[in-house]
Amino acid sequence: MYELHKVDKKFPGVHALKQVDFSIGRGEIVGLIGENGAGKSTLMKVIYGAYQPDGGSITIDGKTVRFQNPRQAMDHGIGMVFQEQSLITNLTVMENIFLGFEKQFVKFGVVNWTAMADAARKQLAKVKLDIDPATVTAKLSFAQRQLVELAKVLTLEERIDGDLVILLDEPTSVLAKEEVELLFSLVRELTNRASFIFVSHRMDEVLELSDRIYVMKDGEVVDIVSRDNADIDAIQHKMVGRDVDKEYYREQRQKPYRDNESLLKFDGVSLGQRFQDISFDLHAGEVFCLVGTEGSGREAILRTIFGLETPTAGSVTIKGKPIARFDAQSSVALGVGYVPRERKVEGIVGGMNVFENMTLSQMRNYSSYGVLRIAEEKQLARDWIGQLSIKTPSEFKDCGGLSGGNQQKVVLAKWRSGGSDIMMLDHPTRGLDIGAKEDVYDMVREMSDAGVGIILVADTLEEAIGLSHTILVLKDGRAQQRFECAPGAKPTLYDLVHYMI
Amino acid sequence: MTFEHIKPHLPWMTLLALTAIVGIADTNFLLPANLISMSADIVPLFIMALGMTFAIYIGGIDLSAQSVANMTTVIATVALPTFGLGAAVICILAGLFLGAVSGFVTTRLLVPSFISTLAIGGVAFSTGQYLSGQRALYMDATLRDNSFGWMVGKSFGIPHELFIGGALVLIAIFIQNRTTFGRALKAVGAGEPAAVASGLNVRRIKILAFAISGALAAIAGLLFSVKLSGGSPTIANGFLLPAIVAVLVGGTPLTGGVGGVVNTLIGTLIVAVIRSSMLYFEVDATRQQMVFGIVLIIAIALTIDRSKLRIVK
């Protein structure tokens, strides 16, 4: 009933959706899985009208439609339950449910709250949530809010003729196990009212709930499997599509690290509730990977090393020097480099050109008495543009105008040229296309060979396993398990996942 | 050719167009003598705008500039008999200090600069009132000429104010384009999170930017009081709006990171031409601020980088 035909979407530097065909029938639950960057969220945004496709068509019951915005999609029965919840927390439940559609309860400019509460109760009954509609949303648990969000989308049922398609974006990520079960049984019951598109990175959940599963990789639908003949391994294969290919992560280039040369030492370090009692040693040439779910403490550890957070307990030693004062300037001076996840926000300064960005962290080396030696800066930029084959017309090009992969190279050049030998890579391949990713992997190996210690928070588990010498699995701010990852003897995905969740 | 392409060139095009219009309407306007005296008159405002540029370039604003200038006219007048030329040093240090306090409040107590500088402006204004006893004070003519006569004389037919303004603008251009501090200012203005993640001491850079703004506002006040041979806690009122207009019309947006010192030079000249044209078109002095208010809104609407502002309140 709802179909996409050869839908295409391009962003500068990324071909996000390539000729995607997609269909969902009445009362069907369709799963959508893929790695980060596979195109799931772009596809969803096309479906609920936040993006307009560059090519292809969307049809509902055979009729071509075009949505300029989510509101128009809603008018055609497409609703979205957001992952980061879209409820306004200081409004009441009923106000949230009818946000933007209060008109039906208004007479002479006055809202009839009783009528709205009754209507809201009817919606809440659909999701079996027994709460007072006048409750302020902030007082609800996450699971309850999720249901309110679902109830809000279900108001479409009364508002429009025709079928409903509801998107659930990672709905289980903040839920406890029992809550997930409840949600699933509810969704199954609701299939008499609507069809569902279920997006999750938890394979088991997708398998459990969905009738059919779309597997995405690099902007394409690589497989469609029905639940009955779904095989986890096969899907996993298709999702990654290269786990046999050791070349991809440059595994053959992984050399043992120098275990007598410690660059960074964490000894029983804690930071409030964010992480507790973390100990590890980073050696020259080692790729040390922190693995865990969002909020497991990975980012907080990186920020601590970079001096942006001050630990509440334990000691941090960089190159034999115990750190007493935590600030970014001293960390940088000690040779710590940080390749942040938000490349465009924290990595490069848009509006500044390539050479200005490259020397930003090391202006001291390119100035005398505070006066810049600009000719040397330009020379440095030209050298590194050549060395990393950065695609830019010249060193004067505004970094904001470079593609993601080239921006990432500028960030890496910034730290490497300044002699940083403790590199923190936070999702260094996020949002990059395959070629650019491989360039980053090459650079990781090159840095390793040069004796740089790397702390990595990878975009995917496969990437973590493929690249690292050592993996530390974190859960709720605590270290769970350490894995040695010598080439040929790497742990599997399932070894890690077991400790993560 | 889209608007985005033309945008960087708007300031000088506006300046040329305005000059041409006024020049056609009043041929005397383009006489060198008139242009020179017009430029000399605008120098105190230009110096204040120059300081304001530093605050706006990092994405902040300095609403205390006018009050600091007011205060320094009083300080200069009061200190002149005792300290002579040293009065200038006192004035500049006072401006530098108040600017640094604004910067400290902004960066350490995380009070947005529009409110911290407004508050510090209140402090400066009161200080001026207290020191002056709420009266207009006058400088002794001989004392003034002995210590500060060099500021307002003429050489080769060119008023000395223009040399002062010229020297300051050259120094500011040098700081902006050639020093690590100038580069850091740009980074903070264009992408503060990246500046932090590059290990720059962003707090210190910001405090310094506000301090420079305060110091230049003080110099503006000093020059103004020498020109008028006196001081009063309200003498520079009416400076703030044109100073902000000069920066923004010049092409440094409120969001910072682009534009800079040269833009402010052009912006100030635009303000000067607008002012002269208002005289020519006989716009009442009381309505001048009205015109600047409208120009300010237009300038902001045209220059602001909306991608950096998600919500405007």
In angstroms, rounded to a whole number, what is the distance separating the alpha carbons of residues A329 and A360?
12
A371/B179 touch (CB, cutoff 8 Å), yes or no: yes
Mean pLDDT value of segment B49-77: 93
- Any residues with CB less than 8 A from the CB of A334 and at least 6 apart, and which? A318, A319, A321, A422
Which of B178, B196, B257 comes nearest A328 by C-beta? B196
pLDDT at B124 (0 to 100): 92
One DSSP character per residue, B120-171 reads HHHHHHHHHHHHHTTS-EE--HHHHHHHHHHHH-EETTEEHHHHHHHHHHHH
pLDDT at A432 over 80: no
Q: Across all residues in chain A, what is the average pLDDT?
A: 85
Q: How many domains does chain B have?
A: 1
How far is residue B43 from each of residues A81, A351, B234, B267, measured CA to CA in Å?
59, 31, 19, 12
**pTM recorded for the entire structure:** 0.77
How far is residue A411 from each of residues A357, A381, A404, measured CA to CA in Å?
8, 12, 11
One DSSP character per residue, chain B reads --HHHHGGGHHHHHHHHHHHHHHHH-GGGGSHHHHHHHHHHHHHHHHHHHHHHHHHHTT---TTHHHHHHHHHHHHHHHHHHHTTHHHHHHHHHHHHHHHHHHHHHHHS---HHHHHHHHHHHHHHHHHHHHTTS-EE--HHHHHHHHHHHH-EETTEEHHHHHHHHHHHHHHHHHHHBHHHHHHHHHHHHHHHHHHTT--HHHHHHHHHHHHHHHHHHHHHHHHHHHTEE-TTTTTT-HHHHHHHHHHTT--TT-SS--HHHHHHHHHHHHHHHHHHHHTT--GGGHHHHHHHHHHHHHHHH--GGG-S---
In angstroms, rounded to a whole number, what is the distance separating the alpha carbons of residues A218 and B162?
62
Residues in chain A within 8 Å Cβ distance of B59: none
Q: Across all residues in chain B, what is the average pLDDT?
A: 87
Q: Is residue B99 part of a domain?
A: yes
pLDDT at B179 over 90: yes
pLDDT at B71 over 90: yes
In angstroms, rounded to a whole number, what is the distance separating the alpha carbons of residues A121 and A77?
21
Stretch among A4-13, A152-161, A232-241 having the lowest mean pLDDT: A232-241
Q: Is residue B184 part of a domain?
A: yes
pLDDT at A79 over 60: yes
What is the amino acid identity at position A330? S
**Dihedral (CA of A147, A153, A155, A157) sign:** negative
Radius of gyration for the alpha carbons in chain A, expressed in angstroms and rounded: 25
pLDDT at B269 (0 to 100): 92
pLDDT at A463 over 90: no
Structural domains in chain A? 2-240 (3.40.50.300), 251-351+400-500 (3.40.50.300)
Q: Is residue B310 part of a domain?
A: no
- The answer to whether the beta carbons of residues A491 and A471 sit under 8 Å apart is yes
Stretch among A69-83, A165-179, A438-452 having the lowest mean pLDDT: A165-179
Residues of B with CB under 8 A from a CB of A: 178-181, 183-184, 186-187, 190-191, 193-201, 257-258
pLDDT at B36 over 80: yes
Q: Which among A426, A374, A436, A338 has a CA at the least distance from the CA of A14?
A: A436
Q: Which tokens sit at B285? A: 């002095």
- Any residues with CB less than 8 A from the CB of B28 and at least 6 apart, and which? B34
Most confident of A185-194, A287-296, B39-48, B138-147: B39-48
Residues in chain A within 8 Å Cβ distance of B184: 363
pLDDT at B148 (0 to 100): 80
Mutation for A interface: B198, B212, B303, most A CBs within 10 A: B198
Residues in chain A within 8 Å Cβ distance of B196: 308, 328, 346
End-to-end CA distance of chain A: 37
pLDDT digits 0-9 by tens, A176-205: 777 888 888 888 888 888 899 988 767 778
B190/A352 touch (CB, cutoff 8 Å), yes or no: yes
How far is residue A18 from each of residues A13, A53, A167, A187, A315, measured CA to CA in Å?
14, 11, 21, 30, 49
**CA triple B293-B295-B298, angle to 5 deg:** 110
Return the residue of B nearest to A412 by Cα.
B198
pLDDT at A291 (0 to 100): 87
In angstroms, rounded to a whole number, what is the distance separating the alpha carbons of residues A362 and A417?
9
pLDDT at A141 over 90: no
Owning domain of residue B192: 10-305
Q: Is residue B313 part of a domain?
A: no
| Beta strands across the sheet bearing A220-226 | A78-81, A164-169, A194-199, A29-34, A212-217, A220-226
Longest dimension (CA), chain A: 79
Which of A338, A351, A372 comes nearest B190 by C-beta? A351
Longest dimension (CA), chain B: 61
368-407 in A: which are within 8 Å (CB) of B?
370-372, 374
pLDDT at B55 (0 to 100): 94
SS3 A283: strand
How far is residue B152 from each of residues A341, B45, B141, B219, measured CA to CA in Å?
56, 15, 13, 14
Residues in chain B within 8 Å Cβ distance of A350: 190-191
In angstroms, rounded to a whole number, what is the distance separating the alpha carbons of residues A136 and A144?
12
B198/A356 touch (CB, cutoff 8 Å), yes or no: no
pLDDT digits 0-9 by tens, B211-223: 999 999 999 999 9
Question: Which CATH number does the domain housing residue B174 bear?
Answer: 1.10.3470
In angstroms, rounded to a whole number, what is the distance separating the alpha carbons of residues B103 and B18?
36
Q: Is residue B2 part of a domain?
A: no
Decide if the complex's ipTM is over 0.95. no
Q: Is residue B66 part of a domain?
A: yes
pLDDT digits 0-9 by tens, A318-358: 888 888 888 888 888 888 999 988 888 888 898 899 999 99
Confidence category of residue A244, pLDDT binned at 50, 70, 90: very low
Q: Is residue B138 part of a domain?
A: yes
What residues pair up with A34 in beta bridges, in sequence order?
A: A216
pLDDT at B305 (0 to 100): 66
In angstroms, rounded to a whole number, what is the distance separating the alpha carbons of residues A9 and B157?
66
Mean pLDDT value of segment A255-262: 81
CA distance B190 to chain A (A): 6
Q: Is residue B256 part of a domain?
A: yes
A347/B258 touch (CB, cutoff 8 Å), yes or no: no
Mean pLDDT value of segment A252-259: 79
Percent of chain B scored above 70 by pLDDT? 95
Residue A88 sits at the chain B interface (C-beta within 8 Å): no
